[in-house]
Amino acid sequence: MEPYHSAVAKTVECLRQHLHLDLFGVDLIVCSPSTSGDANRLAVIDVNIFPGEVALPLGYLL
């Protein structure tokens, strides 16, 4: 996902502001250029307001 780091960061920040959440999980997919017209376009397919512990940094659980 490194080529998409900036787009992911912007998407997550937008979700954070609109959902008023600080802790959530999000599933993203990269859209095909043939369907989106833009090779760097992402789509949100799922938002989890209580992500599983595998999504949390280890120190957060202590």
Give the model confidence (pLDDT) of 19-38 as tens digits: 999 889 899 998 887 665 66
φ, ψ (nearest 5 deg) of residue 48: -110, 120
Q: What is the DSSP string of 1-62?
A: -GGGHHHHHHHHHHHHHHHT-SS-EEEEEEPPHHHHS-TT-EEEEEEESS--GGGS-GGGG-
- Its pTM stands at 0.67
Q: What are the residue boundaries of the structural domains of the chain, listed by start?
A: 2-49
- In whole angstroms, what is the distance from residue 13 CA to residue 16 CA? 5
pLDDT tens digits along 37-46: 666 688 999 9
The pair of three-digit structure tokens given for residue 30, joined into one six-digit string: 């990269």
